[in-house]
Structure 1
Amino acid sequence: MTPMPTSGELSRFRDLVTGLMGLNASELKLSRLDELLRRRAQANKMQCSAYLDALGKDQIQATELAQLVQELTITETYFFRNPAHYAALTEAALPERLAALSGRQQVHILSAGCASGEEAYSLAILVKEHFPDAAHLIAITAIDFNPAVLEKAQQARYSSWSLRDMAPDRQARWFRSEGNAFLLDQNVRQAVKFERHNLAAENPTFWWEGRFDIVFCRNVLMYFVLEQAQAALRRIAFSMMPGAYLFMGHAETLRGLSNDFHLCHTHETFYYQRKPLPLSSELPERRIAATPSRWQEVSLASNTSWIETIQAASERIQHIAGGAQKNAGDERLHAAAPALNLEHAMEYLHQERYDSVLQQIGSLPEEHAQDTDVLLLKAVSLCHSGASEAAEGVCQQLLQHDELNAGAHYVLALCRESAGNMQDAVDHDQMASYLDPAFAMPRLHMGLLANRNGDKATAMTALNQALLLLQQEDPSRILLFGGGFKREALIALCRSQLNATGARP
């Protein structure tokens, strides 16, 4: 019997899982990764060390990865999961891509990480229901790395659990009963081509430039390590036409992963559109969009003094401004600049002396003044000093560099509220919350707006979420976005507003 692996062997196994499949082994829903390693080594009649050597040297890789992926990935799904995405597809994305066909023969749709086929077949059903005259112009490809689920997809036999969100009339139209199972209509089955591919691997014969018009890649990349997720998105973006659409899972965003897409918000859901390809003559943009907001990088203790918080925030911006030059790709930005010290600006912000903050920012060298987070500091100060229109202009400037900046969307929500446009305010709050689920302030703001509008249910949900998030919120971010209030005051505001809804916080 093969003994349990050593800590070193388990570490090697994690590294191989990450390198070969892109999966973050520390996040897998598997209670004992060491037991899996022992079991697979025993199945191959090897000691753990020999099994890892063989796996790393391709000796058993092709067949063994197929076994590992079945145990390391979650494949449960169902038809028409997240109906808002399908509404956006049929009413916005697909009509636009059909209209843009021009000389191309077909609109190509990809279901990446298709599991047992429910998503891909949902797409095929929608095409037949909504675009019957154009069905021949739409091609659907579905890929997964797990051969077992691909085989199930091709059989197209499903339980009632897989059809649990399907309307009875739709089920009757597209399925027929076979014992305890339901067999999908042959015409729908023929509309999808299934292939086995690894999202974590380079494959230029599959990911060729401009191939796809619409990509569904939902609840897949959330299991990847950061570098592999970024690499997979580069391949996906490369294979998409300019203007093509990308749909991801509700818990996934492109923030920190890619800067190749615009954020779309329609049909009460979020999705993305591929940006136009830059002209070869264009200089690289000076932006830091593919990284998370720096206001939450350093987690400080909740009882940290404001002096320490102010110093940390100032040092953070100084570090960011220097890092921006290295990432800019334009040698002209690499020239030495005067040292940046924003402790006075952050102290003024804490004192709500916004004119003094703006004066400090106005004295910065241009290469610092245009940094993403310095622009955010400027927008916040303008907004709280009553210059909402100017604050909006700075936010729009910031979003040109970093379209997925949650802080900019939150400041825009405040500006839109000041202008009396409550729906736009809610929209930007929703964008900020989607882009950064740990960001407390947009949820608090949504709760305040909902309470004011008499929508107690929405207020209760948003305020309860804000109350939880505020207890973990980074002090520097509270300093920037809290409007002069400390954590305790914001929590108290949350509770008082919850009381106003009749809830017990």
Structure 2
Amino acid sequence: MARAEARRAPDPGVVRRLGELLRARTRLQMRPRNMEIIERVAERRAAERGAPVGAYLEHVILSHDTAELESFIAEITVGETHFFRGPPQFEALRNEIVPSLLHKRRKERVLTALSAGCATGEEAYSLAIVLREAAMNDGFRVEVTGIDLNPRALQKAESARYSAWSLRDVPEVVRRMYFRTEGETWHLSEDVRRLVRFRRFGLTEGPLVNVFPKGFDLILCQNVLYYLEPEARPEVIASLAAALAPGGILMFGPVDHAGDVPGCRAVHVGEVVVHERFGPVSVPPSSPRGRRYARLSIPPVPLPELRMEAAAAPPVAPAAPPPPSPEPAPEVPAPAAAPSLASAFAHADAGNLENALAELEALLEEEPEEPRAHLLEGLLLVELGGFEAALDAFRRCVYLDPSMMLAHAGAAVAGLRLGRPDLVERHAARLRALTVARGKGVDAPIEGWDGMTVGRLLRLFRDTEIQ
């Protein structure tokens, strides 16, 4: 009987209670998929102990069992990452940011960096490689620190052993220089490993300066804020800014929408916006996140029609008539439908662009790393004439999926409208490279843009005068 009960699905209310306890500990948003993970882990952990899942959950909730809570935290904070994730970010680091920091620190001869939310370590080691290559001829000492809430991820980071999937954006020459293979495992070289140390620390656990009082010259915090409660984000941003040494640089991921950073000035480096510390930092009050599109009032600008195919939204069945009753039945509001890409496309196809954008905003709160949602957001903003916002959306898309040709095309179009020939050429070059990599010619179609080929689009850019 106990074995059968252990296999029974846990009570949703108890799962929600555990989710609330985990939220209070981590300040992570408990989205529906997090609750599914919690339920799955609870069933597995209870079965391992031969206990009824309900009794197991009650024990964890009532006792605040730290070891058990860590198991749930480890599962809900597993992050997707790989080496040199985000080519524009690392291009900016190599070409401008790191050389500038080396110049600023030429007297100290030490360069320090933090990978905040480092997960399994790929970002921290990528930083170490970039800093080592830039500083090796100048006698600098390089120190990189990786912090994360997930102890299981940090154990993998310490091992510095990875699959080929983690190296998918690493050029062959870099692989040969910094890795050796053992079967299907890639081992990072000791020359890079010794530059990096890891420490368990959650960004919402307190000010970083209390743990790292000397500060950092460079902090990367890529695609972490999106997973936190909105009320926690300003506190974390201020904590990161305060942990910068004077003149230090803070870089967020394109999915994060950091906004203003206290004590810092925003600096554009190519496609990337970074934040340079120049003054004191004060913690801003938390405020509800408003709609990003409320102030969009630029009139539409005619452009080639950018289209993307998606499965049509499923038809909604007509409501059945209520059964006859002597008294009217009380009205029960229908549950709100979960935001979906198909629904956003349906709104867009019907011409309801603002509704489509609102649907995408809700969807991206749930699934911030869905590249097609960022792509559609960019296409809609192009139609509304919000080219700067569209460019940001396309950048987020290609950060998440660099092979998305339509996003590169959209970014080039936005750059054209903004009078930015550097952006046009950069994304046109990536379109050419993708075409070559796929073994196709200039007549290859750009998927999702009816009738447009790579060659035709490149000719459009070449023949158009940029004001």
TM-score range, shorter chain: 0.5 to 0.7
Once residues 429 and 25 of structure 1 are traced to their aligned partners in structure 2, the CA distance between those partners, rounded to angstroms, is: 29
Q: Who is 1:60 aligned against?
A: 65
Q: Who is 2:294 aligned against?
A: 296
1:10 and 2:9 aligned: no
The answer to whether the 8 A contact 1:253-1:434 is kept is: no
Q: Who is 1:386 aligned against?
A: none
- CA positional deviation for 1:4: 3.4
Q: Who is 1:171 aligned against?
A: 175
1:118 and 2:117 aligned: no
Identity of aligned pairs, percent? 28
Alignment TM-score, normalising by the size of structure 2:
0.58
- CA positional deviation for 1:451: 11
1:26 and 2:53 aligned: no
- CA positional deviation for 1:12: 1.3
The answer to whether the 8 A contact 1:260-1:275 is kept is: yes
Aligned-partner residue type, residue 67 of structure 1: S
Aligned-partner SS, 1:133: coil
Aligned-partner residue type, residue 296 of structure 1: A
Q: Who is 1:446 aligned against?
A: 414
Deviations, residues 401-435 of structure 1 (Å, cap 9, x unaligned)? xxxxxxxxx9xxx9xxxxxxxxxx97687469879
Q: Who is 1:245 aligned against?
A: 249
Deviations, residues 77-124 of structure 1 (Å, cap 9, x unaligned)? 221111221122223222232333376563220011212211111111
The answer to whether the 8 A contact 2:17-2:61 is kept is: no
Segment of structure 1 superposing worse, 210-219 or 268-277: 268-277
Q: Who is 2:375 aligned against?
A: none
1:199 and 2:167 aligned: no
The answer to whether the 8 A contact 1:212-1:239 is kept is: yes
1:145 and 2:149 aligned: yes
Residue 98 of structure 2 is aligned with which of 84, 94, 98? 94
The answer to whether the 8 A contact 1:107-1:213 is kept is: yes
- CA positional deviation for 1:258: 4.6
Once residues 452 and 276 of structure 1 are traced to their aligned partners in structure 2, the CA distance between those partners, rounded to angstroms, is: 31
Aligned-partner residue type, residue 6 of structure 1: D
Aligned-partner SS, 1:187: helix
Aligned-partner SS, 1:162: helix
- CA positional deviation for 1:76: 3.1
Q: Name the count of aligned residue pairs.
A: 331
Q: Who is 2:229 aligned against?
A: 225
Q: Who is 1:366 aligned against?
A: none
Deviations, residues 133-183 of structure 1 (Å, cap 9, x unaligned)? 346432100112222222222221222222121111111111112122221
> Within 5 Å, which residues of 2 pair with 1:417-456?
430=391, 446=414, 449=417
Which has the larger helix fraction?
1
Once residues 427 and 108 of structure 1 are traced to their aligned partners in structure 2, the CA distance between those partners, rounded to angstroms, is: 32
Aligned-partner SS, 1:25: coil
Alignment TM-score, normalising by the size of structure 1:
0.54
Segment of structure 1 superposing worse, 190-199 or 257-266: 257-266
Deviations, residues 272-314 of structure 1 (Å, cap 9, x unaligned)? 2234217x9xxx99x99996468639xxxxxxxxxxxxxxxxx
Residue 276 of structure 1 is aligned with which of 260, 263, 279? 279
The answer to whether the 8 A contact 1:208-1:238 is kept is: no
Pair 448,127 (structure 1): closer, same or farther in 2 beyond 3 Å = closer
CA RMSD across the alignment = 4.6
Once residues 106 and 452 of structure 1 are traced to their aligned partners in structure 2, the CA distance between those partners, rounded to angstroms, is: 36
Once residues 452 and 194 of structure 1 are traced to their aligned partners in structure 2, the CA distance between those partners, rounded to angstroms, is: 40
Once residues 71 and 14 of structure 2 are traced to their aligned partners in structure 1, the CA distance between those partners, rounded to angstroms, is: 19
Q: Who is 2:191 aligned against?
A: 187
- CA positional deviation for 1:233: 2.1
Unaligned runs of 5+ in 2: 296-380, 397-409, 429-448, 458-467
Once residues 41 and 208 of structure 1 are traced to their aligned partners in structure 2, the CA distance between those partners, rounded to angstroms, is: 39
Once residues 105 and 126 of structure 1 are traced to their aligned partners in structure 2, the CA distance between those partners, rounded to angstroms, is: 16
Deviations, residues 35-71 of structure 1 (Å, cap 9, x unaligned)? 333444555666667655654576521x223311332
Once residues 165 and 80 of structure 1 are traced to their aligned partners in structure 2, the CA distance between those partners, rounded to angstroms, is: 6
Pair 291,71 (structure 1): closer, same or farther in 2 beyond 3 Å = closer
